[in-house]
């Protein structure tokens, strides 16, 4: 499949999601023009705020390929990925992102992707969600354990 066909599939998934009560988002992960995985937004049907199309597609692709490293793959999304999905795409090492709508389009439709992007630019103390550091010395033990572990599987 070419890039336009792959994007059209992501858009079709977004429309199917709306018809079944989900959000207007779809994602396709492909390698060499072949679909590896696809998913639509399942936040409301699954009562799962992390069940965005991109995250769901990444989970499916990783299971199908048997690896957490999706290098060599590309993702086609009906909308610019939100910060959570963008982070997941980077963690999965996906090579390239294609999107149709952007975060301003999502904001106009009532989604807070753009708000979260703006929050990330602020110092933690200036964000709308209060946060504070608690027990950092105790938590660093796990990092030391990781650093010293000889048989770790790095990712």
What mean pLDDT do residues 6-23 have?
96
Strands 96-101 and 74-79: what pairing? Answer: parallel
- Nearest one of 50, 59, 60, 61 to 25, comparing CA atoms: 50
Please write the tens of the pLDDT for every residue from 52-75: 999 999 999 999 999 999 999 999
pLDDT of residue 109: 94
Active site residues: 54
Residues of the chain with pLDDT > 70: what percent? 100
**Contact present, 93 and 31 (Cβ < 8 Å):** no
Tokens 């072949």 correspond to 34
Residue 112 has pLDDT above 90, yes or no: no
Taking only the tens place, the pLDDT of each residue in 36-53 is 999 999 999 999 999 999
Beta-carbon contacts of 25 under 8 Å, excluding residues fewer than 6 positions away, are: 13, 14, 17, 40, 41, 52, 53, 54, 77, 78, 79
Give the pLDDT confidence score for residue 127 in this predicted structure.
Answer: 95
What's the CA gap between 61 and 12, in Å, rounded?
A: 19
Distance of alpha carbon 11 from alpha carbon 98, whole angstroms:
12
Q: Which of the two residues, 82 and 113, has the higher pLDDT score?
A: 82
pLDDT of residue 54: 98
| Band of residue 155 on the pLDDT scale cut at 50, 70, 90 | confident
């Amino acid at each position: 499949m070419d890039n336009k066909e792959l994007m059209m599939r992501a858009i079709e998934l977004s429309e199917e999601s709306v018809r079944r009560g989900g959000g207007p988002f779809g994602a396709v992960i492909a390698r060499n023009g072949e679909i590896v995985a696809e998913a639509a937004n399942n936040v409301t049907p699954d009562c799962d705020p992390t069940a965005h199309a991109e995250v769901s597609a990444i989970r499916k692709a990783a299971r199908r390929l048997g690896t957490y490293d999706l290098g060599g793959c590309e993702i086609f999304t009906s909308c610019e990925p939100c910060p959570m999905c963008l982070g997941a795409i980077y963690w999965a090492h996906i090579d390239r992102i294609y999107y149709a709508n952007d975060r301003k389009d999502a904001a106009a439709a009532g989604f807070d992707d753009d708000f979260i992007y703006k929050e990330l630019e602020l110092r933690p103390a200036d964000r709308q969600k209060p946060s504070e550091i608690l027990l950092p010395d105790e938590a660093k033990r796990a990092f030391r354990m990781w650093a010293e572990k000889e048989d770790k599987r790095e990712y």
